[in-house]
């Protein structure tokens, strides 16, 4: 979905239904060419391309490669790899940019294109706009002696596994710990088990048999019920679930109870505070539970909220010169060890205090009391128009006044899907649920 004055780029690259504009071969061929022309303006360009496990990845990888090569750019293909792995490979291979073919937590029939700059950061707005401008030009192939070349990245999974292991102290060990991993039949399926096994854990794996169609299907961080069940069945110490492209994570304690991104942020922040390595405060989003904000305030840790989207969290972290931030959904950013949200690295950071204190991960959230929070998604064709409608705004104002200081309401369009997200948070769960359902009904009236 487009964002602001962009025609194609949304909050997390370009995303849509496969075969429909813009996620089709014709557009993505031109996108590869346009990106190649933009990145080659200062000389020969080198671009890394990775993907998740969707069946459409083969098609989109081929046309992006062709477009880039036609523009004179050299291409390195990593095959299926987590999104943060492409950020890492782009940086360490000294490439000019990285491209990830993924629709993250969406079903297999969606796909998307995400970009990183040469430092492994999300592209700045002006580069995205420059690519969009180039897309309006007539596509022209470079002369044969100026075409780019394509090659495979040697040992990409092994490189990334070693990088992840290197983000924890050398003496850190998971020996004696029984961990269930749910890889969402996605991009972490062949790297995450290796990371945790090589750190000494007894690893049990689900969601690691991708077939092109089962990514995020009843598994992974967006469907943690499978992980919760397996942790209890297998008497594991904890469970870790990733999403399809490996930038979101949730965890499960030994009782099968879920820990979301807010709780993981709190665990990591408290450990870093105790170790003297927090470096400033914590950035959450407008969706972050009020319980996180209150618990951090009790610990005298600064906290501020960004708009939803790890892009906005990253921007605010850089502006504050802080390292730690994230979203309730499980995007957790530790900018001192990775340039972008990395599910494997976030899980390892949360495990540092578990190992240090030899405790159940749930014990580390004892001082954080989450307020009841209800999210209702309303399918709409134009979420931005619906959220601005007078009848919905009047209903929001009325319910906000009724809640007073006991809670808050947030109604916003999704940045990645044709959905309106209605979030209500407060002290009384029944009241919160009632308000959320009523506002969702009002929103649906305008569909």
Q: How many angstroms separate the CA atoms of 446 and 189, rounded?
A: 41
In degrees, rounded to 5, the angle at the alpha carbon of residue 95 between the alpha carbons of residues 199 and 113 is 85
For 173-205, write each residue's pLDDT tens digit. 999 999 999 999 999 999 999 999 999 999 999
For 329-356, write each residue's pLDDT tens digit. 999 999 999 999 999 999 999 999 999 9
Structure confidence at residue 417 (pLDDT): 78
Q: Say if CB 297 and CB 287 are below 8 A apart.
A: no
Q: How far is CA 241 from the centre of its chain?
A: 13
Residue 288 tokens, joined: 């972050």
Helix axes 343-357 and 261-275, enclosed angle (nearest 10): 60
Indicate the domain borders of the chain.
14-155, 174-258, 260-342+352-365, 373-445
Question: pTM score > 0.85 for this model?
Answer: yes
Q: Considering the domain 260-342+352-365, what is its CATH architecture?
A: 3-Layer(aba) Sandwich (3.40)
- The CATH number assigned to the domain with range 174-258 reads 3.40.120.10
End-to-end CA distance of the chain: 18
- Fold (topology level) of 14-155: Alpha-D-Glucose-1,6-Bisphosphate; Chain A, domain 3 (3.40.120)
Q: Which CATH number fits domain 373-445: 3.30.310.50, 3.60.20.30, 1.10.10.10, 2.70.98.40?
A: 3.30.310.50
- 14-155 against 174-258: fold identical: yes
Is position 104 annotated as part of the catalytic site?
A: yes
Structure confidence at residue 178 (pLDDT): 98
Q: Say if CB 209 and CB 231 are below 8 A apart.
A: no
Structure confidence at residue 4 (pLDDT): 53
Structure confidence at residue 418 (pLDDT): 86
Structure confidence at residue 414 (pLDDT): 83
Exposure letters 140-167 (e unless 16+ CB within 10 A, then b): eebeeeeebebeebeebbebbbebbbeb
Residue stretches of the chain with pLDDT short of 50: 1
- Which one of 104, 288, 329, 338 is the catalytic residue? 104
Place of tokens 């993250």: 104
């Amino acid at each position: 979905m487009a964002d602001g004055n962009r025609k194609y780029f949304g909050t997390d690259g370009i995303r849509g239904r496969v075969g429909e504009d813009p996620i089709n071969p014709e557009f993505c061929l031109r996108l590869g060419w346009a990106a190649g022309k933009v990145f080659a303006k200062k000389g020969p360009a080198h671009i890394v391309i990775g993907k998740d496990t969707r069946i459409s990845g083969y098609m989109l990888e081929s046309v992006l490669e062709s477009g880039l090569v036609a523009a004179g750019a050299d291409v390195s293909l990593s095959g299926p790899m987590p999104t943060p792995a492409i950020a890492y490979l782009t940086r360490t291979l000294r490439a000019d940019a990285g491209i990830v073919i993924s629709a993250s937590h969406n079903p297999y029939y969606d796909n998307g294109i995400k970009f990183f700059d040469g430092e492994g950061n999300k592209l700045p707005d002006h580069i995205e706009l420059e690519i969009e401008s180039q897309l309006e030009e007539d596509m022209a192939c470079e002369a044969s002696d100026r075409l780019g070349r394509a090659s495979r990245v040697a040992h990409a999974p092994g490189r990334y596994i070693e990088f992840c292991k290197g983000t924890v102290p050398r003496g850190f060990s998971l020996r004696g710990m029984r961990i269930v991993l749910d890889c969402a039949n996605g991009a972490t399926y062949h790297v995450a088990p290796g990371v945790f096994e090589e750190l000494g854990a007894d690893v049990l794996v689900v969601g690691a048999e991708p077939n092109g169609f089962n990514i995020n299907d009843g598994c992974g961080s967006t469907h943690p019920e499978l992980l919760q069940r397996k942790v209890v069945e297998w008497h594991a110490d904890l469970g870790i679930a990733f999403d399809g492209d490996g930038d979101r994570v949730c965890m499960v304690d030994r009782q099968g109870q879920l820990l979301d991104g807010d709780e993981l942020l709190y665990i990591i922040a408290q450990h870093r505070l105790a170790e003297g390595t927090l470096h400033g405060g914590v950035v959450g989003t407008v969706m972050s539970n009020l319980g996180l904000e209150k618990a951090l305030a009790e610990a005298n840790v600064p906290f501020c909220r960004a708009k939803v989207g790890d892009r906005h969290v990253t921007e605010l972290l850089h502006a504050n010169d802080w390292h730690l931030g994230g979203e309730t959904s499980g995007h957790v950013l530790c900018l001192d060890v990775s340039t972008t949200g990395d599910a494997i690295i976030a899980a390892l950071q949360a495990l540092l205090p578990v190992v240090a204190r030899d405790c159940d991960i749930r014990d580390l959230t004892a001082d954080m009391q989450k307020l009841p929070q209800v999210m209702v998604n309303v399918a709409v064709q134009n979420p931005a128009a619906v959220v601005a409608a007078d009848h919905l705004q009047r209903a929001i104002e009325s319910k906000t006044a009724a809640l007073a200081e006991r809670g808050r309401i947030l109604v916003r369009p999704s940045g990645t899907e044709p959905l309106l997200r209605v979030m209500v948070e407060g002290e009384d769960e029944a009241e919160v649920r009632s308000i959320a359902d009523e506002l969702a009904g009002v929103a649906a009236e305008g569909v």
